[in-house]
Amino acid sequence: MSAEQLIFRDKVISCCEMVEINPTLDSENTMAQNAFDILEAATDAIQNRLRMEEVVSR
């Protein structure tokens, strides 16, 4: 399990902000890809958490 999944699995986390400090230093769009990977992992973790809460509440 990745760090992003561990962080966003907990419902205490209600928001997250990602900022690219200096996009002119980003060669080959590396930071954008890393940011997308983090966002994708966070979205998956939140969706999984919401599914689990739905199952438990039934």
| Domain extent listing, the chain | 1-8+28-58
Kindly state the average pLDDT of the residues 15-26.
Answer: 81
User: How far apart, in whole angstroms, are the C-alpha atoms of residue 20 and residue 32?
Assistant: 8
Q: Where are the alpha helices (DSSP H) in 2-29?
A: 3-9
Q: What is the pLDDT of residue 55?
A: 87
Which tokens sit at 40? 């994708």
Kindly state the average pLDDT of the residues 43-57.
Answer: 85
Q: What is the pLDDT of residue 4?
A: 67
Cβ atoms of 49 and 9 within 8 Å: the answer is yes
User: How far apart, in whole angstroms, are the C-alpha atoms of residue 51 and residue 46?
Assistant: 9
Kindly state the average pLDDT of the residues 35-58.
Answer: 85
Statement: the pTM of the whole predicted model exceeds 0.85:
no
Q: What is the pLDDT of residue 34?
A: 87
